[in-house]
Structure 1
Amino acid sequence: MAKQLDLQEQEQLDELKAFWKQYGNLITGVLTLAMLAFAAWNGWNWYQREQGKKAGALYEALEQAVASGDAARGGQAFNDLKERYPRTAFAQQGGLLAAKLLSEKGQADPARAALAWVAEHASEDEYRTIARLRLAGVLFESKQYDEALKQLAGASAPEFAALVADRRGDVLLAQGKKDEAKAAYQAAYKAMDEKLDYRRLVDAKLTALGAAPAASAAASGAAR
C-alpha cells in the first residue's frame, strides 16, 4: 500500500513538474505584472494625494493674496500652481481667481494671460468655458470683437450655452450686425430657465431690437 501511495505521489509530482515547466514562466510573468500594476496604482494614488496637498497650499496662498488685494503675490502663487501642478483642479480654479484679482488691480495683460491659460489647459470643459466667457468679456471691453468671437466659438460646455449666446449677441451688436445679434439673443432667451432674472435682461435686449419675446409669442399664437 505504501509503495502504491508513493507511486501516486510521484506521478502527481511529475505531472506538477510538467505543468510548471510548460506554464511556469507564464504564471510567474502574470503574477509579476499584477504585482507591478498594484504597486504602480498605489504609487500613483500617493503621488496624486501629495500633489493635491501641495497644490492646495499654493491655492490657499492665492486666496490670502486675493483677500489682501496683493496682485503681485497672487500672480506669483498662480504661476507656481500652473508650473508645478498644472493638471490639478487647484490650478484651473486658481487661474480664474488670479485673473479676477489682476483685472481688479488694473493688470489687464496678466489677467488675460491667466484666463487664456485656463481656456487652453484646463482638463474640464466647464472651466475652459468659464475662462473663455470671461476672456471674451475682456476682449469685448477692449473692442477686440473678432478675438472675442473666437473665444466664444470654443466655449462648448452645454450648461453655459445660454450665456455664451448672450455674450455673442453683445459682440455682434457692437459690430453692427443686428440680425445676427438678434438671433444670438433669441437662442440665449430660449436656452435660459424662465425663473432666471438674467432672462429679463436678454428680453430687454431683444425688445430694443424690435423682437420682444412676448410680442413674438403673441404673434405666433394669433397666427395659429
Structure 2
Amino acid sequence: MEVYDSEEQQVEAIKEWWKENGKAVILGAVVGLGGLFGWRYYQDSALEAKELASESYTQAMTALLNQQPGSEDQVQSFIDANAKSEYSVLAALQLAKVQVEASQLDEALAQLEWAKANSKDEALKAVISYRIARIQAEQENYADALAELTNITDANWSGRIAELRGDIELRQGNEDAAYAAYSEAQQAMDASQTLQLKLDDLAK
C-alpha cells in the first residue's frame, strides 16, 4: 500500500482515483440500488398476486360449495387463469369431487390427471393418484387402476392402497387375491374399520 507524505498528497491521490474510477462506482451503485428496488418490487408483486389468487380461489370454492349456477364454469375459469399456482390444483380436486358426485367420471378423471401433472407437492400427488385409481376402478379399467396405485410410494398410504387393490381383485372375481390384499391392509397403520367386514364376507 502506498504511503502518503502529506494530506495534500492524499487529497490529490483521491481526486486522481475518483477521476479514473468514479463513473464505475456510480454505475455500480445505480445498478445495485436498481436491483434492490427491483427485487422488492418483484416480491411485492408476487405477494399481491398470491393474495389475489387466494381471494379468487375462495370465491370460486364458495360458489361451488353452495352449488351456485355456473359455479363449475367459474372454477374452471379460475384453474385456467391460475394454471401455475397450487391453488389451481386444489380447485381441480374440488371440481373433480363434484363431477364424481354427478357421475361425470370422464370429466373428473381429466381434472385429476391435469392436477397430477401440474402439482409440485408430492403429498398431494399421492392423494391425486389414489383418487385417479378409484375412478379407473369404477370405470372397470382395473389394469390402469392397479398401475396407478404403484405410483404412490408413501408408506402412510399402504393400508388404503392394499384395500383398494383388494376391492379391484374382488370385482374381477379373484377372491384369494382380494383376501390377501385385505389381510395386508389390516396390518397397516392406516387400516380402515371396514376391513374386518370384508374379510368376514370372503371367509363365509
TM-score, normalised on structure 1? Answer: 0.69
**2:157 maps to 1:149:** no
Report if aligned partners of 1:69, 1:101 keep a CA contact under 8 Å in 2. no
Q: Which amino acid aligns with 1:123?
A: K
Report if aligned partners of 2:60, 2:78 keep a CA contact under 8 Å in 1. no
Secondary structure of the 2:185 match is: helix
- 1:80 paired residue number: 77
1:154-189 deviation line (CA, Å, top 9, x unaligned): 234444333223222322343455565455434433
Structure 1: runs of 5 or more not aligned: 211-224
**2:125 maps to 1:128:** yes
Secondary structure of the 2:187 match is: helix
For 1:26 and 1:206, locate their aligned partners in 2 and report how far apart those are by CA, in whole Å: 79
For 2:184 and 2:14, locate their aligned partners in 1 and report how far apart those are by CA, in whole Å: 75
Q: Percent of pairs identical after alignment?
A: 22
**2:192 maps to 1:199:** yes
Per the alignment, do residues 19 and 113 of structure 1 end up closer, same or farther by CA in structure 2, a change over 3 Å counting?
same
- 2:182 paired residue number: 185
Report if aligned partners of 2:60, 2:75 keep a CA contact under 8 Å in 1. no
For 2:144 and 2:104, locate their aligned partners in 1 and report how far apart those are by CA, in whole Å: 19
Report if aligned partners of 2:156, 2:189 keep a CA contact under 8 Å in 1. no
For 1:105 and 1:119, locate their aligned partners in 2 and report how far apart those are by CA, in whole Å: 21
Residues matched between the structures, number: 200
Per the alignment, do residues 49 and 179 of structure 1 end up closer, same or farther by CA in structure 2, a change over 3 Å counting?
farther
User: Displacement, 1:151?
Assistant: 2.0
User: Displacement, 1:145?
Assistant: 0.5
- 2:88 paired residue number: 91
- 2:112 paired residue number: 115
Report if aligned partners of 1:59, 1:90 keep a CA contact under 8 Å in 2. no
Q: Which amino acid aligns with 2:103?
A: G
Q: Which amino acid aligns with 1:151?
A: E
Q: Which amino acid aligns with 2:195?
A: V
Of 103-112 and 150-159, deviating more is: 150-159
1:193-222 deviation line (CA, Å, top 9, x unaligned): 5xxxx5332234345556xxxxxxxxxxxx
Per the alignment, do residues 123 and 12 of structure 1 end up closer, same or farther by CA in structure 2, a change over 3 Å counting?
same
Q: 1:165 aligns with which of 150, 162, 182?
A: 162
**2:94 maps to 1:101:** no
For 2:34 and 2:154, locate their aligned partners in 1 and report how far apart those are by CA, in whole Å: 40
What CA RMSD, in Å, does the superposition of the two structures yield over aligned residues? 3.5
Q: Which amino acid aligns with 1:119?
A: K
Per the alignment, do residues 33 and 88 of structure 1 end up closer, same or farther by CA in structure 2, a change over 3 Å counting?
same
Per the alignment, do residues 180 and 10 of structure 1 end up closer, same or farther by CA in structure 2, a change over 3 Å counting?
farther
Report if aligned partners of 2:149, 2:161 keep a CA contact under 8 Å in 1. yes
**2:7 maps to 1:14:** no
Report if aligned partners of 1:58, 1:77 keep a CA contact under 8 Å in 2. no
- 2:61 paired residue number: 62
Q: Which has the higher helix share?
A: 1
- 2:35 paired residue number: 36
